[in-house]
Structure 1
């Protein structure tokens, strides 16, 4: 079975200038977990829910800190200020272009390739989707689920 037999030709895409907030809404509205970033019909990147979630990672605090009696009063104020900074940072993130977080090294596959090859690429690189390209132009996408459905038809 070939990739063209299981791929989805109706691909939801974004462009590099779309904001991270817009892309998050696209993912939610289309009930998908990732999408290709396309410019002039060519795949220039890929962005996933995981890329968006990484924006929310907070660096781990190392070491033990115990407040002095004077700092006990300061701690709640410091935490409030940190929360305000965090909210401001999240607002700023949503307005940045997706090209700042997209993965630029994108694995792709040809529609004539076998689903075994697609499965091997997806498994080896621990990815969930492969843009399907022909003559360097995006023509579809194949996901893990598409491959499983294809195998169910055998």
Structure 2
């Protein structure tokens, strides 16, 4: 039986509540990620910032605000103002099938993995897609 700990990503990009929206936007672009866990100094999980949160906090391109102005605005917005704190977390011992069902039923893009209040990983839709591809390849080989 596979558990979340078998699939989760453990090398994480995280931010703290005082980091700016500009920093978050840059991190998502550079790392090509859509979810950033927010932690405190002891790596305790506090919340989650998603690509959708960033889009909601962005001035519409129809407002004709150039990138320099948007960057200035983003620099003044701390992550704590737009992050989500009502986030479902799971333990590394949770069955992988149960985690997949949580993602599917609630339309979540990820589940932060927490053990003793400390962030230890994250499991995303992309992780499940990679697993599916691996399993499909294995089936085709037989």
Q: If the TM-score is normalised by the length of the shorter chain, which range does it land in?
A: 0.7 to 0.9
Where does residue 93 of structure 1 map in the other structure? 74
Q: Which has the higher contact order (CA 8 A, sep 6+)?
A: 1
Residues in 1 aligned to 2:43 and 2:71: alpha-carbon distance in whole angstroms: 31
Q: Distance in 1 between matches of 2:75 and 2:106?
A: 28
Distance 1:90 1:21, change over 3 A: closer
Pairs within 5 Å for 1:48-127: 48-56=50-58, 83=64, 88=69, 91-127=72-108
1:106 to partner: Cα distance: 1.2
Does 2:42 match 1:47? no
Aligned partner of 1:62 in structure 2 is none
Mapped pair 1:148 → 2:108:
no
Give structure 1 stretches of 5+ with no counterpart. Answer: 59-81
Extract structure 1 runs of 4+ deviating beyond 6 A: none
Gaps of 5+ in 2: 136-142
Deviation at 1:49, TM superposition (A): 1.1
Question: What is the distance in 2 between the residues matched to 1:111 and 1:21?
Answer: 31
Give the conservation status (yes or no) of the 8 Å contact 2:14–2:39.
yes
Question: Cα deviations across residues 103-145 of structure 1 (Å, max 9, x unaligned)?
Answer: 0111111111111111121122221111111111111111112
The answer to whether the 8 A contact 2:20-2:78 is kept is: yes
Q: What is the TM-score of this pair, normalised by structure 2?
A: 0.81
- The aligned counterpart of 1:79 is none
**Larger Rg: 1 or 2?**
1
Cα RMSD, aligned residues only: 2.3
